Each structure stands twice: as C-alpha cells, then as structure tokens.
C-alpha cells in the first residue's frame, strides 16, 4: 500500500508512520538541540538553528501537511503566534474581511492592526446569508478570514462559497478550523488557501500544550513570507511541545468521534428542555447551518455547542458554578468537558449573547454529563 494513500485514521495512529532507522524506535525522539553542526566542507546538512526549523517540529509539520492534503505546514508556539504571523503578511492599506463574532483573540488582533497598522477590516454577520459576499471588495480585499464553525455561536460558514467569493475578488481565504479538525473538515479541499488550527485544542487534545498550525494549498510567495515571519518574530514550536502534539494527535480520530457523539446526545437532550431557550449545535435539524454542515463536515457535527439559557447573564453564570463534572474553565478540545460563560470572559466589548454558555464536550460517559447539566440548570 502506498503510504501517500493512507487514511487519516491510519496516519494519525501511526504518527506519520515513523520508525527510527538507527534504533527501530516506533516513537520519534525529542531533538532538543538548538544548533546543528556543519560538515567538513562547512556546509549545512539539514538544520542550522532551531528557531528557523527543527527536526521534531518538522516531523509534526509533515504529518499535519498530509492530514490537510497541504503542500506545506508550519507549526508555531501558539495559535495566536500563527495568526499574528499570518496577518503580518498583510500590508497597510489592504482590506481584510472577517466575521463579527469570532475567536476574540483574533478579533482583538484585527482591531489592533486596524488602529495601528492602517489595515482596513470589515466584520460581517456570519448568521446572515450573503453577508460575506457583500463585505468583499473586488480588487481591494486581500484576505478573507473565516472560522467554521464560528465560536461560540457555531454558525456554519460555507467554505466553498467563501472561497469562490474570495477568489473572484482576488483575495486569499484563510480558515480557522480549530473547532473542525481534519478528521471532519478539510478546508483546503473545499477551496481555502490556508487553514489554521489552534493545536492547543483538538489536535493536542489534552489541555496540556500550546501550539498553532498553518497549512497551505501552495507554497507561494505569501507562504515564504510567512515562514520568514515565524523565524523573525520567533514564534516557532518548541521541540517538547512538538513531541507532545504528535503524541496527542495519534488518538485524535478516536477522541473526536466520542466527543462529537456525546455533543450530539447532549444537544438533543436539552433542545426542548424548560429553562433552555435554544441549543446552538450544527448537528440539530433546527440549526440554520445544518445543511451546509452536512455537506462540508464528514462523520460528525463537531463537539462544541452552546446553550442559551433563560434568566440572562446571572442565571448563566450560576449554572457554570453549579456543574460538578463540567469544569468551569476556558479553552476547548480536551478530553475533559468544560463549561464557560463567554461574555464574562470576553468583557464589555464582547458580541456574544449574555445568556450563552459554551460547552466543550469531552470523552466522559454522556449519561453522567447530561445528569450533571440537569442538576445545574434546575
Ligand atoms: C484557542 C483558539 C485560538 C488561539 O489559539 P491559542 O493556541 O490559544 O493561541 C484561535 N482560534 C480559535 C477558534 C481558538 O479556539
């Protein structure tokens, strides 16, 4: 069997099919060296200095590249380091389009770039059909940045349609696919130019490492610039984290399958419950993005959902203090379930509804998770 044709599941399980040629080790070593010797002719052999690139990082990049069907991938010290490097390639005077409700760290970065670097940013309403197309300006927009699903309302953006709108305007499409790892959505196959993951979430999967990833459909000039930006800004992934990420990724397909099945069961259970105004989850037929999600996601509808509860911010915060299994903490994608009142975390500038509780569903037994929420919502 040709190793290039392997399924995502097999690729993940085998960590990129690694066997060390010298020792037979089935797990790659952690190369902690920061510097690499030249040969007798004073030439570099493979690596020079680990801020440019390092063997453990390169291994994880190789696996990620194959998972995404990408031409190349770059690993960064955090998701935000990757997003910062990406937007560093946007010049002053250029126009960027992004959703109004999105990961707030990225939204804050865009507002900062608008204020300090003269980049113009238009935020569109991802819940309104045609809003992205209307925000794009042919010949003016250089980057369209989207998330799918949109955190934390889980609106679904049609990646293929976004790619068509971006490309016809001469813009590049970048997709933050943190909530939909390549086991369920392959953004590059849907027409995106660049796909981003906060690998601190599902790819790592155990809430114990920070990492970010960019993968590209083609290693063009922008990509080379991005690579230089990583070296210059210094946000490369460290060898220990790269190793941990690779280890976490080996069970991604199993974790995600269980997490998504749990999320669907929770969404269905609370869909018509008293005290809950709405359940936001693309796997529910009632969700506005259900049909698009069905088209562009394979095997599941993700493991993130939000509840809009009766009683506003106060009731929502109370529920988040009453759960015993759902841990009241930020972040997502780990094997343990988390609950969060996003509006409190994001502060006064937040565009998130005050009565929204975000759930990151883990791999626990779903009946116990449901019982936990039942006693908390009262
Ligand atoms: C966490 C997150 C990020 C930022 O990644 P870090 O690894 O925390 O820097 C970006 N986008 C989304 C959707 C996220 O959930």
The atom of ligand 1 lying closest to the CA of 211 is 7
Arithmetic mean of pLDDT over the chain: 96
CA distance 319 to 321: 5
The atom of ligand 1 lying closest to the CA of 212 is 7
* 98 token code pair: 């992004």
Residue 203 to residues 92, 116, 141, 234, 255, Cα–Cα distance (Å): 33, 33, 31, 22, 10
* 122 token code pair: 């238009």
Per DSSP, the three-state class of 23 is: coil
Catalytic site residue 201? yes
CA of 78 to the centre of ligand 1 (A): 8
Residue 51 to residues 34, 74, 228, Cα–Cα distance (Å): 8, 12, 11
Render pLDDT for 75-125 as a digit per residue (tens, 0 to 9): 999 999 999 999 999 999 999 999 998 999 999 999 999 999 999 999 999
CB atoms within 10 A of CB 332: 25
Is the CB of residue 148 below 6 angstroms from any atom belonging to ligand 1?
no
* 17 token code pair: 């099919």
What number of CA atoms fall less than 13 Å from residue 361's CA on the CB side? 28
**Which pLDDT score, from 0 to 100, does residue 18 have?**
83
Render pLDDT for 196-237 as a digit per residue (tens, 0 to 9): 999 999 999 999 999 999 999 999 999 999 999 999 999 999
Question: Where does 239-327 have alpha helices with state H?
Answer: 239-249, 252-270, 290-296, 312-322
- Side by side, the strands of the sheet bearing 356-360 are 276-280, 304-309, 356-360, 338-340, 327-328
Render pLDDT for 19-49 as a digit per residue (tens, 0 to 9): 888 999 999 999 999 999 999 999 999 999 9
Q: Omega into 149 within 30° of 0, i.e. cis?
A: yes
* Ligand 1 atom 4: residue of nearest CA: 79
CB 28 within 8 A of CB 56: yes
* 226 token code pair: 């991005």
Relative to beta strand 338-340, strand 327-328 is parallel
- Whether 1 shows a pLDDT value over 60: the answer reads no
pTM: 0.96
Render pLDDT for 233-265 as a digit per residue (tens, 0 to 9): 999 999 999 999 999 999 999 999 999 999 999
CA of 25 to the centre of ligand 1 (A): 33
Ligand 1: which of 83, 105, 195 to mutate, most ligand atoms within 8 Å of CB?
105
Ligand 1: which of 103, 199, 346 to mutate, most ligand atoms within 8 Å of CB?
103
* 13 token code pair: 């399980």
CB 155 within 8 A of CB 293: no
CB 131 within 8 A of CB 165: no
The atom of ligand 1 lying closest to the CA of 81 is 9
CB 215 within 8 A of CB 65: yes
* 294 token code pair: 């069905």
The atom of ligand 1 lying closest to the CA of 332 is 15
Catalytic site residue 186? no
Is the CB of residue 79 below 6 angstroms from any atom belonging to ligand 1?
yes
């Amino acid at each position: 069997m040709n190793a290039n044709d392997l399924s995502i599941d097999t690729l993940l399980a085998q960590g990129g099919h690694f066997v060390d040629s010298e020792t037979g080790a089935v797990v790659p070593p952690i190369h902690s060296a920061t510097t690499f010797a030249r040969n007798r002719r004073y030439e570099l052999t493979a690596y020079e200095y680990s801020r440019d690139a390092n063997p453990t990082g390169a291994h994880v990049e190789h696996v990620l590249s194959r998972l995404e069907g990408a031409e190349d991938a770059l690993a960064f010290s955090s998701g935000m380091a990757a997003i910062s490097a990406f937007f560093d390639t946007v010049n002053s005077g250029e126009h960027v389009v992004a959703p109004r409700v999105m990961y707030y760290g990225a939204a804050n970065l865009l507002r900062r770039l608008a204020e300090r670097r003269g980049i113009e940013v238009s935020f569109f309403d991802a819940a309104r059909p045609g809003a992205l197309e209307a925000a794009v300006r042919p010949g003016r927009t250089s980057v369209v940045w989207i998330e799918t699903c949109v955190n934390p309302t889980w609106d679904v953006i049609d990646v293929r349609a976004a790619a068509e709108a971006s490309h016809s305007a001469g813009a590049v499409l970048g997709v933050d696919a943190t909530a939909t790892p390549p086991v369920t959505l392959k953004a590059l196959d849907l027409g995106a130019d660049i796909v981003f993951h906060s690998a601190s979430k599902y790819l790592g999967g155990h809430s114990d490492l920070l990492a970010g990833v960019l993968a590209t459909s083609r290693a063009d000039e922008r990509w080379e610039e991005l690579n230089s930006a990583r070296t210059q800004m210094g946000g490369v992934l460290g060898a220990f984290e790269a190793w941990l990420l690779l280890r976490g990724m080996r069970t991604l397909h199993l974790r995600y399958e269980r997490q998504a099945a749990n999320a669907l069961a929770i969404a269905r259970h609370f869909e018509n419950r008293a005290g809950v105004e709405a359940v936001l989850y693309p796997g529910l037929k009632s969700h506005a993005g259900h049909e698009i999600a069905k088209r562009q996601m394979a095997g599941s509808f993700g493991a993130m959902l939000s509840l809009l509860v009766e009683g506003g911010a106060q009731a929502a915060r109370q529920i988040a203090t009453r759960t015993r299994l759902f841990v009241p903490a930020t972040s997502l994608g780990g094997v343990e379930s988390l609950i969060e009142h996003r509006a409190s975390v994001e502060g006064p500038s937040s565009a998130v509804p005050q009565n929204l509780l975000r759930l990151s569903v883990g791999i626990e037994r779903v009946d116990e998770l449901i019982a936990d929420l039942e006693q908390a919502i009262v």
